Structure 1
Amino acid sequence: MNFGENIQEWFSVQIGALFFVVIGAMAIFFLAKREFSRFVGFAVFALIVGVFVFTPESVKSLGGKLWATVFGA
């Protein structure tokens, strides 16, 4: 039995939910103040952070495929 994996999965789910709540609150804040350029910049930043934090396996495989395409297998 590996207890660490269950704890890691639980924290990942909880932090993911908190991450999306914070992103939603910031988006509403920027849109309510009509700061559209800051909203777009924050949305792009949140998208990049979300991908790197929550799906690092896909980033790793994409990097490997890109490396193989550019420099050969």
Structure 2
Amino acid sequence: MLFLKRNMPRVISVLILVIVFSLFAVNVFAAGENFGQNAYTWLQSQIWFIALLIVAVICVPFIMKKMWMQLAGFLVLAAIVLYIVNDPTALKSLGSTIWSKIFN
């Protein structure tokens, strides 16, 4: 935690740079007739890698502190979240299945 307190300005500046470069990249990779659909497709393909990076960063403290059970639980939860991020229609079909089981 002390590391994060000391380096918070650097972390914030890196996050701002990533956001700015991502906005420029959207203009480059989503150019064309249908900008909205192209931007959605490009962002959907990139968000999985961002989520994977977040999972990796969160796993590091668990590994460093040798908290193996918490790491296993987090990896199960992360696998579910990454699956939903990779295929958002799976969440919709899961919700409709649960709804039909409860109310029909």
- TM score, norm. by length of structure 1: 0.68
What is aligned with 1:48? 80
Contact 2:52-2:82 at 8 Å conserved across structures: no
What is the CA RMSD across the aligned residues, in angstroms? 2.3
Q: Distance in 1 between matches of 2:88 and 2:36?
A: 19
Q: Tell me the CA shift for residue 46 of structure 1.
A: 0.5
Question: CA shift at 1:27, angstroms?
Answer: 1.4
Q: Detail structure 1 runs of 4+ shifted over 6 Å in the superposition.
A: 61-64
Name which one, 1 or 2, has greater alpha-carbon Rg: 2
* Identical counterparts, % of pairs: 33
Shift of 1:11: 1.5
**Number of matched pairs:** 72
Letter in 2 for 1:48: I
Q: Which runs of 5 or more structure 2 residues have no equivalent in the other structure?
A: 1-32, 97-104
Which residue does 1:26 correspond to in 2? Answer: 58
Q: Paired residue for 1:2? A: 34
SS of the residue 2:66 aligns to: coil
- Post-superposition offset of 1:62: 7.9
Equivalence for 2:23: none
**For structure 1, which runs of at least 5 residues remain unmatched after alignment?**
65-73
Q: CA contact under 8 A between 2:62 and 2:71: conserved in structure 1?
A: yes
Distance in 2 (CA, whole Å) between partners of 1:13 and 1:29 is 27
